[in-house]
Each structure stands twice: as structure tokens, then as C-alpha cells.
Structure 1
Amino acid sequence: MNPTLSAASVRGDAGGAVVRLAILDDHEVLLDTLSTWINHNAPDFEVVLGAANWLELVQSEAFPTDLVFIDFQLKEAISIEARVRTCRAAGAKVIVLSSLDTREARERALAAGASDFLAKALPMNAVMAAARRVMGIEALDDTAVERSASAAPPLQQVKPKLSPGEEEAFRLYVSGYSTVAVAEEMNVQYETAKTYLRRVREKYAKVGRPAGKKAELIRRAAEDGYLE
């Protein structure tokens, strides 16, 4: 790929090259949201591979791609350093996306060879602007950027998919029930209710929407229609 490509030359309908993009994220809702938005709003990129786990990415016939978006917080044991270095060795550039926007996480990703480290709270037009910088692509024209920005919600607006048990525990807890009372109301063990609520918090954190504190959890419930 040329070091700098004009906006016109990268559009598929103009016959030029399009950046082949892979996304590695084990949260299926976020993976689908990213892929759909990019394919509809970023004509200079094409999501050719969406993977929910590491092996699915590296064993795909589409790998390596030109660029890979990698979620920092995968549940798999393989480290961010190993993931980034493998992609770089295969010839792909890497941007790490994370809801854990800490100095340590950023330094680990960049030291391993990632081209950028971005918070998931960023709107999608900002994420793709960073991707264009990494790939040496000129920005789209003003009209396209404006249209893209207007259709670009922050990743933090993604609503996590909860299981029926998680949703019921969530609704009860944010409506004023204690964890003990949630367990009694659901007729489950205390540890089960506790696990449901922990998973709810983890799923919100996964999409960049903090829910560690009860006040944050109530705020998420209000935003997503769980409060009656």
C-alpha cells in the first residue's frame, strides 16, 4: 500500500485499494456494531474478518489483514503483547481498543508494537480518523466526514446482551433490592445472584460503560430502559 492514499483512491467504487480490516473482540454485540458501522460509513475500509477469539483470527484465510483492531481485555490467557507482536510479524498494523484506559495498559500495547491505543468511549468517527492516520490515508472530504460524524455514536452507547437471569437480577438490584433480597426474590442461592450482578458489571465494562459502583449501575439501567 502506498504511504499516503487520497480519499478518492481508496474507495472501492473508484477502483482503488481499500484497507482490509480485521476486528478481534469477544463481545459479539460490540463486534457486530463495529463491523456494521464501518462497512456503512467508512468506504475506505472493509471489515473482512470479525473474530470472537484469538484462534479464529489467526487461523482465518483472511488473516493477515492490513490493519487489526484488538480488544485489550480478552478473556483468553494470551497476553496483549503476544497478540500484537503476532499480528505485526504477519504484516498487519494494530490498533488496540480498550475500556481499560490506563497508563499501564497503553504502555503495554504500544511497547509491543501497536500503532495506537484508543478508549472505547471515543465516537466511531474518531476511531476511524485514527485508523486513517495509522494507514497513511488522507481524511475523507468534509461532506463525508460530517455525514460520518452524525452517524457515529460512541462505543459506550452499546447495550450489552444480558441473559434472562442477569437481567432479572439487574432489574431487582437497581430497583432497591439488596443482593440477599435479589437471591430470595429469584429463589436462587446468594452466590448465584452475586454472580449474575458481577457478570452484568463485567458486560457493561466490556463495552466501555463503567458499572462498578451501584450509582453507575443505576445510571446504566436508566439509560437502557431497565428502570420501571
Structure 2
Amino acid sequence: MADKPITAVIIDDHAVVTAGVRYWCATAEPPIELVDAGARLANVWTGPGGDADVVIFDLQLNGEQQEFRELRRLVDSGRRIVVYTQDAHNATAVRCVELGALAYVTKREGPEHLVAAVRAAAKGFAYTPPSLSGALVADEDPNRPRLAPQEIAALRAWFASSSKRLAAEMLGISVKTVDTYIERVRIRYASVGRPAPTKSDLVARALEDKLITLSELNNTT
């Protein structure tokens, strides 16, 4: 029997955006079934939208604080969230990840990143597109090592997927490359006086530096 198709519900008040996302999902291989919630948050909670594997959440619907509260409520209820937005501010991206979003994709990043983010989120995995990588490495705190985007992506994938093999499959790279990135991260943390010789130490550092959230760790498979 074929695997059940991934379903996603999109909450966005721009019909053109929704039409584009619907096309990307329909032409993906395998296709993703998309439910249009329009601008009504209630449609994310009930009917087909309530049963969708992933919520594609636009931050432009309401006032910022109200949107953050709704994002937190969705995450707390167990929904898997991909934020899809025009807002490219680093602080907004980091805030959404802190609240439990599994991915933050800007509308200028294209279908390859949105589709990949939806697929990852459906499995409970985090996904790190370029915009989110940039936001996570922008911090100037001297106590935090400057990690490369690939290193952050390897860490997040490893923590969220329970094994390096699954992390490698998720990122489309080899297990050896994942090992290399993780060892570089250990060296960088040691260089700022925050050694992380074990996986649990790295998890603690990543939580301290907001590279991953507790909700993502709770989705580990």
C-alpha cells in the first residue's frame, strides 16, 4: 500500500500566494495535498484543516503579538508549523523558532525550500532554509561560537531525527559529512570555553543558544 500523502493547511489572506503554494504542492513528487484556510484561523482547527499534518502559517494576518500567541497555541496543541512569510527580519525568525516552529521560510525563497520544509515538518523534523540559517548565525555574543549554516543544519537535523543516518538522509548528505560538521561544532564550542564533548552537552548548548527548541526535541522519532 502506498504511503498516505502529506496534507498541509495554509493560512494566508492572499489568494495569489495560496494558488502558488497549491501548484508547488500539487507538482511536488510525491504531491502534497493542500487545504486553503483563507484568512480564518478557525479553519486551521476544524474540518480538513484540523486534520492536516502541517500548518503553513503566514505572519502577516494580524498584529505581531497576536500572531505569536496563535503560533504558540498551535505548537502547544501538537501541530507542526512551517512559518511562511514576507518578514525577513532575523529577530522574527529566531522568535518563531523559539516558539516551536519547525521551519521559517520567507516568500522569496521559492518552492524548493517550502516543499522541503513541509515534508520535514510532517515527520516532526526541523528544516533550516537560508533565511533561518542567516538569522541563527547573526548573533554577536562573544560567548556563542560562530557556526556555519551547514553546521547548524546538521545539529538541528541530528537532534530532531534521533540518528546521524536519518539526519544525513534528511539533509541529502553523507553520514561522514554530518560527523564532520558536528565535530567542527564541538571545536567551536570548546574555543569559547563551553566544551560539549557529548550529545547531551551539545543539546544543552543548542538550547542555551536557541538553535533548537524543546518542542523540536520532543518530536524526535
TM-score, normalised on structure 2? 0.50
Give the TM-score, by structure 1 length. 0.48
